A and B are shown apart, each in its own frame.
Chain A
Amino acid sequence: MNTRFQRRSILDRAPGSGVPNMTPMVDVTLVILIFFMASATIAGPEWFLRAELPEGRPTSALALPSPVVRAEVFTRDNATLVRGIGPERPIEDAINAIAAMDPSTADGLVVEIQTADETPYAEVVRLHAALVDAGADVRLR
């Protein structure tokens, strides 16, 4: 009988010793380890801030139903200001005020953000994140 195609156990493959050959497993394990380390660095921890994009022209503040707040973000003298969420004030103060708000106040609230072109995007995103964290829904105009 031709024994050329006979099945061999894993122990037979290690020449002489009778011990399984660990080298391929160690190779693969190291490569997988490097893969996870590299992909964790590339992917990084991220947030996804949901924003609604309402169609049509901005709604006038008077026509808005009560739970909708219209906020304007703009810059003046190199400072980013917010109007509409309380009095006109620096964006940092507005973010702090939102963070200090009672969660039930903002829950279900819709904030429509109207932003001037020259405003730094990163500042608008910080305001957006604070609102989402407080439980509000955000619309971008």
Chain B
Amino acid sequence: MMRRSVLDRAPAGARINVTPMIDVVMCLIVFYLMVGQLALNRAAGVRIPQTAAGGLAAPTSGDPIVIAVLPDGALMLDGEPIAADRLTGELTGRTARRPDARIEIRADRNASYGLVRPALTAARNASIAEVDLVTERGG
């Protein structure tokens, strides 16, 4: 017996309705765009420390500049690895372009303070007066 395709089985003149597929595909595209943006701001491999209280519950302004400090002391700026000696220059440039941007520091909970210090020093050298240390609610 010969196999029949989907189109063969359809009544004459019927067409496949692609509207639901387009709806879902569009939603998926939006989903990946938004999650990609979120993931960019949360550097992979960083488990931020937990605190029971304190601080602002939500960011007060738009997209922040994110400095991540990995457990081995490696630095990332907005999701891209960066050497400590280049961080000040990069921060200076980015804050000049976006003077209202907040600076977030996402350092790993297992890092020692000495590994976080280069990020703070670079921010200070870039004339940044305030940073936000990001922690997880809990603990």
B-binding segment of A59-67, A82-90, A124-132 = A124-132
Known: A28-B27, A39-B34. A125 touches B56 (CB 8 A): no
Closest Cβ neighbor of A53 among chain B residues = B124
New contact pairs (4) apart from A54-B124, A131-B54, CB-CB < 8 Å: A35-B35, A39-B35, A48-B134, A120-B113
| Closest-CB distance, B67 to chain A (whole angstroms) | 12
Interface bin, chain A: 35 or more
| Chain B contact residues, majority secondary structure | mixed
Contact assessment for B27 and A51 in the assembled complex, using a CB-CB cutoff below 8 Å: no
Interface residues of A in 110-136 (CB under 8 A from B): 115-122, 124-126, 128-133
Chain B residues positioned under 8 Å from A117 (CB to CB): 112-114, 117
Instruction: Give the complex CA separation of A116 and B51 in angstroms.
Output: 20
Contact assessment for A121 and B112 in the assembled complex, using a CB-CB cutoff below 8 Å: yes
Contact assessment for B137 and A45 in the assembled complex, using a CB-CB cutoff below 8 Å: yes
Best-surrounded residue of B30, B59, B124 (most CB of chain A within 10 A): B124
Closest Cβ neighbor of B28 among chain A residues = A31
Interface residues of A in 87-113 (CB under 8 A from B): none
